[in-house]
Structure formats: C-alpha cells, structure tokens
Amino acid sequence: MRERFVTRILLMTAGLIIWAAHLGFVYGLNALACTFDFARLELFGMALNTLTIGVVTLIALGAELLVLSFAVAGRGAMGFGGEEQLRFMGPITATLAGLSAVAVLWQGLPVLVVPACTGAGG
C-alpha cells in the first residue's frame, strides 16, 4: 500500500520534479561555464552553453507537456480512476505540470537574451 502512495505522489509531482531538474541543470551549467571559462565556446554560431540549455529546455517542455496530456486524458501511467482521492489527482497533476511548464519556459528564455557570465555592473 505504501508503494502505491509513493508512486502516486511521484506521478502527481512529476511536473515539479522536471522543473527542479531543469532549474538545477541551467544554474549548474552556467556556473560551470563561468567558472571554467567555457562560456565562449561556440557551436553552429551560438555559445555552446546557450545551445545546450536551449535543447534541454525543449526536452523539459516536452516532458511537461507529456505529463500534462496524461493527466488531462486520465490514462496511461497517470491512470486516475475510481477512488475519490484519485479523482482529484488528475486536475492537481495537470495544474502542477502546466505551471511547471511555464516556469521551465520562464527560466529557459533569458539564456537566449542575456549572455552568460556578464555581471550586474557590466
């Protein structure tokens, strides 16, 4: 019974988990790029860390949309059926995944606008 509870909670918070992993990756990669001075490396005319973060952001958005679609459809791995406790999990999962998708987009977009390793003072 406890395993089912833990699995349900992990599925319900999958959007938040994806967002947290993306946040850690974005901040970690930028910190490493600035610390070890590889922020100037380029690939296809773009900074390598910018390109990497852009790709990872698209992957995270795809995963968020997958969680959201499963929650809205109420099938697959998210299978919320029957019990009253499970009926509220679908909308909660969809809401968390939707808000997390906005957060992923919100933290991925500045990478395209602001160059890495620039201080506040210029």
In a domain, 122, yes or no: no
In a domain, 86, yes or no: yes
Note down the domain range covering 19.
Answer: 2-113
In a domain, 57, yes or no: yes
In a domain, 121, yes or no: no
Query: Which residues, including other chains, have CB under 8 Å from residue 74's CB and lie 6 or more apart?
Result: 80, 81, 90
In a domain, 37, yes or no: yes
- The tens digit of pLDDT for each residue in 31-61 reads 888 888 877 777 888 788 888 999 999 999 9
Helices (H) and strands (E) counted in the chain, each on its own, are 6, 2
How many domains is the chain partitioned into structurally? 1
Question: 105 near 111, Cβ under 8 Å?
Answer: no
pLDDT (tens place) for every residue of the chain, 122 residues total: 566 778 888 888 999 999 999 999 999 998 888 888 877 777 888 788 888 999 999 999 999 999 998 888 765 445 555 566 667 788 888 999 999 999 999 999 988 788 777 765 44
Query: Which residues, including other chains, have CB under 8 Å from residue 112's CB and lie 6 or more apart?
Result: 50, 54
- Considering only CA atoms, which of 37, 17, 13, 7 is closest in space to residue 104? 17
What pTM did the predictor assign? Answer: 0.82
